[in-house]
Structure 1
């Protein structure tokens, strides 16, 4: 069986994988040929492994395979019958975090904020590629065929990772039993270990980091506005 760990980038997917591994002692995989995050922060922290077989064989197996993806629901490798746990974060915060990550090498340069704003603008208006725009991506999973995905909000995951992961797995893979005791690192501990990747773990960064014109541009995208309303995020 495959259970997709699906999200737009910077929505808590890696933190979920870490907590999942600590609670259930299961490895995690990615849809991509290379796990870029594991290469950056280490494979052991979430038992990141190469896929053991092709997707068809993983799907047919009795064993549950948790596979991370940032792609939309209509990606060809995702089958209609596949289960998914979807992580969702306020789109403005996700975009701020992703744009900061992409421009991190320019921090300290005089034109850094200009570079950041340009990257954020490009991400807000993106409609192509496997990930697509934030609203496109989120809506594709909301419109998923049966079985409906299990949704985990970034805010809840950061506040109480154990409960968030246990509740999600109980719905998506009820046959898995969690460990009686597991040490899940806090987001603060992960930040101390990899501050460039685990940035802040907070909500509302868009209020001070996203320029006003980009706020307006974000809400001007119909799919963003629809996905925000659907997930109860307010303007």
Structure 2
């Protein structure tokens, strides 16, 4: 069985990989040829493995294979594939990704953020990416909000297992590292670890640019009550 772990970048994907690895001893591979996060943080911390077989072979396996992707849902994803769709306020995700990219001294935060909002990378824009996984709504694609994951990671993992009917069992005595522990391993990667970070990092004109993309407004609305709360939302939302 193949299960996608899908999200726009900087939406908690790595933390969820850690949670599932620690609690259920479930490793994850990536759809890409190179796992940059595993290279940066170490495969042991996040439970990373090399992709063991082709996608079709993994689909036909009795074993559950967890595959991380930041891509929009595309031809690699079959309509009946199970998926964990991790979603975060687009403004927070975009700011966090731009901060990570601008760790390189040759790259400017504002320039990177503008480009990311425009959706010029393979992930496409935040709203386009998220909606590709949410539509059409089906029970075998489980939507998990970032704030629910960080508030109660063990409870979020249990809901994933129950909703997708996965044959995983808790590791006795398993623990999840705290954000402070993860931050100490790599403060640039595990940067702030909470919601609403756009409020003091997203410039007003780029906030307007975010809302100017109709897919962003649609996705924010689709994600439910309270998801759109933030600085001057009523003024900036279409």
TM-score by length of 2: 0.91
| Displacement of 1:146 | 4.1
Task: Call closer, same or farther: CA 1:148–1:174 in 2, change over 3 Å.
Answer: closer
Aligned residue for 1:60? 60
Aligned residue for 1:13? 13
Aligned residue for 2:186? 194
Structure-to-structure mapping, 1:74-113, within 5 angstroms: 75-106=74-105
Q: 2:112 aligns with which of 119, 131, 153?
A: 119
Aligned residue for 1:164? 156
| Displacement of 1:166 | 1.4
| Displacement of 1:147 | 4.5
After alignment, is 174-183 or 45-54 more displaced?
174-183
Structure 2 residue matching 1:67: 3-state secondary structure: strand
**Match status 1:227 vs 2:219:** yes
- Extract unaligned runs of 5+ from structure 1: none
Contact 2:80-2:140 within 8 A present in 1 as well: no
Structure 1 residue matching 2:46: 3-state secondary structure: coil
Aligned residue for 1:51? 51
Aligned pair count reads 227
Task: Supply the distance in 1 between the matched residues of 2:59 and 2:137 (Cα, whole angstroms).
Answer: 17
TM-score by length of 1: 0.92
Aligned residue for 1:71? 71
Contact 2:7-2:13 within 8 A present in 1 as well: yes
Contact 1:9-1:98 within 8 A present in 2 as well: yes
Aligned residue for 1:151? 143
Task: Supply the distance in 2 between the matched residues of 1:187 and 1:145 (Cα, whole angstroms).
Answer: 32
1:114-158 deviations in whole A, cap 9, x for unaligned?
x211111111111562x1110001000110474441111111111
| Displacement of 1:193 | 0.8
1:64-100 deviations in whole A, cap 9, x for unaligned?
0111000111x22111110000111000000000000
RMSD: 1.5
Task: Supply the distance in 2 between the matched residues of 1:27 and 1:215 (Cα, whole angstroms).
Answer: 37
Q: 2:174 aligns with which of 182, 187, 190?
A: 182
After alignment, is 18-27 or 180-189 more displaced?
180-189
Task: Call closer, same or farther: CA 1:57–1:155 in 2, change over 3 Å.
Answer: same
- Extract unaligned runs of 5+ from structure 2: 234-238
Aligned residue for 1:29? 29
Task: Call closer, same or farther: CA 1:148–1:173 in 2, change over 3 Å.
Answer: closer
